[in-house]
Amino acid sequence: MDIPMIVDLLLDAEIAGRAHDLDSNFAQHHPLQIAVCLRNLVAGQDFVTVEFGGRQIVTQILEVDSRHARFVFDTGSMADDNSALPAARQLTFRSLPGGIRTEFTTQDATRLVFDGLPAFEAPFPPLLYYVQRREFFRVQTPVLDPYVASGAYADGGSFRLELQDLSLGGTALKTADERFGSLQNGTILRDVALQLGGFGTLRLDLKIVAPRQVSTAKGDRRFVIGCQFVATPGPAERTLQRVVTQLETRRQALAPRG
């Protein structure tokens, strides 16, 4: 790693360190959501600073084990820091991939060998801040062969809408159907079938929380319906986590590198 890159990372960490007013809305508590955020750092090969006992290293997350709620991260460049790290009572991780602040604190790191090289392993933190505009991390759904939401209107008839984005907490639906232009916040769409390509179909209740109207380049009217999942049973949440992780990993792989 060259010196200018290290300087930039340290400056990023300093900026993040001054911002202790992290909104609790962005605190991820569920291990599955924490795993998604950590895997985003792995997929993007993003650099992370780790602060402990007055020391600091620059590292990368190498592997995430959601089953055992643990993750592996690389050693730093200084032998003294690597020797001191396992004895640290608290480790604070910070990263700013794409301007989105990721921050969490954990402890009890242990040494191990990963892919034939020395590394560290630590337990998932009790909470992780993934600071962006939404409480849940959202990913764009495929444009070709789009995911679809289908169901029945309360007064009869059926609908079939495309998903615009998806998260563990909800989805945004898009349609030209005028009937969706009159739906109010709080309206619940019951037993909606979310067809998620190769991941199969989930049936969930959706609560409308952010309906809005947009115009296409040709001036046509469209409706984007932001929806919250009323409840997500364990199997449904695990499926959503796999979908979100794969879509974001795919996006990271296709993104141009500077």
**Closest by Cα among 147, 230, 224 to 191:** 230
Name all domains of the chain by residue range, CATH numbers in brackets: 3-131 (2.30.110.10), 139-254 (2.40.10.220)
CA distance 92 to 104: 6
What is the rounded average pLDDT for all residues in the chain?
A: 82
Q: Convert the pLDDT of each residue in 189-210 to its tens digit.
A: 999 999 999 999 999 999 888 8
pLDDT at 37 > cutoff 70: yes
pLDDT at 19 > cutoff 50: no
Work out the average pLDDT over 109-127.
95
Q: Convert the pLDDT of each residue in 104-116 to its tens digit.
A: 999 999 999 999 9
According to the model, what pLDDT value does residue 13 have?
38
Dihedral in degrees, nearest 10, Cα atoms 12, 16, 18, 23: 160
CA distance 240 to 221: 30
What pLDDT band is residue 2 in, cutting at 50, 70 and 90? very low
Q: Convert the pLDDT of each residue in 155-171 to its tens digit.
A: 777 899 999 999 888 89
- Within 10 A of 38 (CB to CB), how many other CB atoms are there? 26
According to the model, what pLDDT value does residue 14 have?
37
Position 112, amino acid = L
Q: Convert the pLDDT of each residue in 41-98 to its tens digit.
A: 888 788 888 999 989 898 999 999 989 999 999 999 899 999 999 999 899 999 876 5
What pLDDT band is residue 146 in, cutting at 50, 70 and 90? very high
Work out the average pLDDT over 128-154.
80
